[in-house]
Structure 1
Amino acid sequence: MKKLPIVAIIGRPNVGKSTLVNRLTGSRNAIVHDEAGITRDRLYEPSFWRDRDFLVVDTGGIVFDDDSEFLPEIRQQAMLALSEAVAAIFVVDGQTGPTASDEEIAEWLRQQSVPVFLAVNKCESPEQGLIQAAEFWELGLGEPYPVSGIHGSGTGDLLDAVYPCFPPVEELPEADEEQINVTIIGRPNVGKSSLLNALTGVSRSIVSSISGTTRDAIDLEIEHQGQRYRLIDTAGIRKKKNIRYGAEFFSINRAFKAIRRSDVVLLVIDALESITDQDMKLAGRIEDEGKAAIIVVNKWDALEKDSHTIYEYEKMLRDRVYFMHWSPIIFVSALTGKRVKSIFDLIQTVAQEHRRRVSTAVINEVIQEATAWYSPPTTRQGKQGRIYYGTQVSSQPPTIALFVNDPKRFNDPYRRYIDRQFREQLGFQGTPLRLIWRGKRPREVEENSLNRATRV
């Protein structure tokens, strides 16, 4: 794999940058909503044109001479995106025409070393679009390209102009093909973006005490000690009853999709607020999706504590999130960086366990020893449960099929006992373990046994 060149999308608020990004990348990951300031952080999406793969980075709307709310941080994110790009696409609104803000951004872009291409968006009519685009020659950035982010018209001509900026494939640096996808989730204001910045050592996500600062699912590829990671910061997830249709609704959907495409999920909890019902619901979502997970207790530096606090806190967590007893817990401070880098070691461990496969012979040894110590239950009619054999049928998460005479003869306590035996004997730290109890007639078991003996 090669490290792909980056094209930055730049412009003032509400000119349709995210709509154009979705059109260029063929995705719907950038949130599009009729409200200024929806995009705040840098959002990277893969794209393809002719014979070349590249990344498109969406940025927030740039406003100069205004330091209210998140505007200074949005400008910083746009500047960082521009610094790593091979080309920039300056998006303007063809229906509105040139504005003073467009002229300010154009003047700033002329001072940058990166090539700039002018995309006049919202030109839905080909004939009218040429007239609309002609007004933007006055910005002094070369030929304006009329495009429509909604319909896709004109985007081919725009990409043809950008194409020569891509370096030859043979000159692109190599990238490690094996990477671990890590999603950071949690309630609003628990420190997810601060944790992402602490893990990467760069200011990738905007950090603010204002709830709902992060809206998109923010992807960032990094390398740590030879291992590549894709870290995904997500919007804070509130209770469903408090969510209204709009930007927050789309943000939370992006967060849930990020969980599905991850290998490992970091569930961030605020140490000052302990664990809430919403945290437990998020933990249940991770378990249902079958993802490896680490519980990260953030803001540990701000909590008054003694030598017993950490043990009492961990016991409280284990009692509340009992269904994720398999997940490791780490206490960190994203603000000071304490123990943050140790998260990488845990990520590698749980990712390996999530992908691990165990031979059928080893699984059956565990079953034989477990049933010898604790026999399967017997019904009132005197019929005893019997486990014939087991085999791992899949990974991510590890899934073991147990072939038994009758699944109904195995009650919940015995099933939990078998689950515990597998974990004690085989590990599987940090990952859910799925056990499938399948009924099987004795004759089929005998035939399978004979077949296996014949093969041997």
Structure 2
Amino acid sequence: MIPIIALIGQSNVGKSSLFNLLTKSKNSLISKSHQTTRDINYGYFLIKNNQFCIADTAGISFFRKEEKKNIIQTESYKKTKIAIQKSNFIIFIVDAYIGITKLDYFILKKIRKSNKPFILLINKIDRTNLNDKIIDFYNFGIKNICKISVLHRIGINKFLKKIHLFWKKLNFSKLNNIPLIKKKNNIKIKICFIGKTNVGKSTIINKLLNYNRIITSSIPGTTRDSITESLTINNIEYVLTDTAGIIKKNKQHSFLEYISIKKSFNIIKFNHIIVIVIDAYIGVCAQDLSIINKIINFGCPFFILLNKWDLIALDKKKIIKSIIYNRLRFIKNVAIITISALYKIGFKKILKQIKIIYKESLSTFSSSYLTKIVNQAVMQHPLSMGATGKIIRLKYAHCVNKNPILIIIHGTRTQYISLTYKKYLMHFLQQALHIPNTPIQIYFKNNINPYISKNNNTNY
């Protein structure tokens, strides 16, 4: 077991900034707006070869009557309490610039009720003339106090030493010798769920995990951070990543929304399989087609989930399905699965499809076999000469990468091969190699004649 540290405090005290600094990542969104973090975000960092798990949590606020109506805020607070319960010790972060507030006393009361050991961390000490405000924090009567500035990296080394000494006092050294759940025999498949807002991405992941890991609500844009959680079944570890809902640029009302969406697309690169979630009740919109087009351009293996299938009447399902399939007719060899996240219908198909695509994406092919298939494709549909009037020849092919599969085809005058013919080759290779669910990236390379330069330089 690895010690779990929970970062607790009100909004905008620097919890997410500290989390990103310690984990050396940009997993937590940072913004000046309140309640940027809504869910628990877990990460790992090392101090003297000792591993720690750190949990970034939502900022705590007073629950007035009008605030209780806010579902997201209520759920965020519940998640923060879960993080406190699961943690081995707590880092209570306060803002030196603001000073002590009634909210800090409220949070401190909650932390003390948990009976968990904790450290008081005073952040933003880089501001001038703050001595009086910093001294006020000593009125809390807390022994373990540390002062830092995350922004200017002041006091970070002292803070890490403080954590290490605090950890030693709590006798966690024996627990920390056990490595982070890693089994050599386990297959690790990284899956990213992407789609518009309110299509059910978070609900699908919660149902797969069999508990409410991610906050869900009917409010668009509930998920902001990319939340990752693991699920292990039969020695296969499924690393599931939930992303922020994608909305059009003209509907992005804040910089935070822009960053969330940009992060959703950036995280795709680090996953093996992409699952595009579409609301079957609404149908395939222009935004869905835009998302699919971007995933195709990335060259990642993907399949489509039509969620909320339970909302469609039985007598209309065939008609709706034909309309959706017609809208997606430009996609070839991509699985489309109908599910209901609410009633957990069709979920076995999800994991089955993930295993099929992952197995296909790791396939290996010899150069001779690939060259033979390329020649068959050319025989069935010969290359046109084009404007040059010269013959384009494809000589041999070889695979240079897996997941995604990248095939290099060598030949002459390959720069004149049209995009249409390239797509034809991709689909032909998918069928011939028996990997219909996995996209293939093709790169053409011209063979250089070594005698051309010599002939040009020869004097007769």
**TM-score under structure 1 normalisation?**
0.87
SS in 2 for 1:108: helix
Whole-angstrom distance in 2 between the partners of 1:383 and 1:186 = 46
How far the C-alpha of 1:208 sits from its partner, in A, is 1.0
Mean alpha-carbon deviation: is it higher for 433-442 or for 372-381? 372-381
How far the C-alpha of 1:137 sits from its partner, in A, is 3.4
Residue 439 and residue 156 in structure 1: after superposition, are their counterparts in 2 closer, same or farther (change >3 A)?
closer
Mean alpha-carbon deviation: is it higher for 315-324 or for 328-337? 315-324
Residue 6 and residue 354 in structure 1: after superposition, are their counterparts in 2 closer, same or farther (change >3 A)?
farther
Unaligned runs of 5+ in 1: 445-456
Residue 221 and residue 157 in structure 1: after superposition, are their counterparts in 2 closer, same or farther (change >3 A)?
farther
Q: Determine if contact 2:149/2:156 at 8 Å carries over to the other structure.
A: yes
Give the structure 2 partner of residue 154 of structure 1: 155
Q: Determine if contact 1:176/1:228 at 8 Å carries over to the other structure.
A: no
**% identical equivalent positions:** 28
Amino acid at match of 2:224: R
Q: Determine if contact 2:97/2:130 at 8 Å carries over to the other structure.
A: no
Give the structure 2 partner of residue 94 of structure 1: 96
Q: 1:17 aligns with which of 3, 11, 15?
A: 15
Residue 125 and residue 77 in structure 1: after superposition, are their counterparts in 2 closer, same or farther (change >3 A)?
same
Give the structure 2 partner of residue 356 of structure 1: 363
Q: Determine if contact 1:95/1:123 at 8 Å carries over to the other structure.
A: yes
**CA-to-partner distance for each residue in 1:42-69, whole Å, 9 max, x for gaps?**
1223322222233322111123434231
Instruction: State yes or no: 1:48 paired with 2:61.
Output: no
Question: For residues 129-208 of structure 1, what are the structure 2 equivalents within 5 Å?
Answer: 132-163=133-164, 164=167, 166-168=172-174, 169-172=176-179, 174-176=181-183, 178-208=187-217
Whole-angstrom distance in 2 between the partners of 1:334 and 1:325 = 25
**CA-to-partner distance for each residue in 1:83-112, whole Å, 9 max, x for gaps?**
332222111122222222222222221222
SS in 1 for 2:333: coil
Residue 260 and residue 203 in structure 1: after superposition, are their counterparts in 2 closer, same or farther (change >3 A)?
same
Whole-angstrom distance in 1 between the partners of 2:348 and 2:135 = 52
Amino acid at match of 2:158: D
Residue 408 and residue 149 in structure 1: after superposition, are their counterparts in 2 closer, same or farther (change >3 A)?
closer
Mean alpha-carbon deviation: is it higher for 137-146 or for 424-433? 137-146
How far the C-alpha of 1:402 sits from its partner, in A, is 1.7
Whole-angstrom distance in 1 between the partners of 2:400 and 2:180 = 38
Mean alpha-carbon deviation: is it higher for 132-141 or for 399-408? 132-141
How far the C-alpha of 1:382 sits from its partner, in A, is 7.6
Whole-angstrom distance in 2 between the partners of 1:126 and 1:223 = 51
How far the C-alpha of 1:383 sits from its partner, in A, is 5.2
Q: Determine if contact 2:6/2:91 at 8 Å carries over to the other structure.
A: yes
Amino acid at match of 1:417: Y
Residue 415 and residue 257 in structure 1: after superposition, are their counterparts in 2 closer, same or farther (change >3 A)?
closer
Residue 132 and residue 222 in structure 1: after superposition, are their counterparts in 2 closer, same or farther (change >3 A)?
farther
Q: 1:278 aligns with which of 260, 263, 287?
A: 287
Amino acid at match of 1:136: F
RMSD value, Cα: 2.7
How far the C-alpha of 1:296 sits from its partner, in A, is 1.1
Mean alpha-carbon deviation: is it higher for 220-229 or for 274-283? 220-229
Give the structure 2 partner of residue 112 of structure 1: 114
Whole-angstrom distance in 1 between the partners of 2:388 and 2:192 = 50
Whole-angstrom distance in 1 between the partners of 2:401 and 2:198 = 37
Whole-angstrom distance in 1 between the partners of 2:419 and 2:25 = 44
SS in 2 for 1:171: coil
Residue 319 and residue 50 in structure 1: after superposition, are their counterparts in 2 closer, same or farther (change >3 A)?
same
Unaligned runs of 5+ in 2: 452-460
**TM-score under structure 2 normalisation?**
0.86
Residue 430 and residue 132 in structure 1: after superposition, are their counterparts in 2 closer, same or farther (change >3 A)?
farther
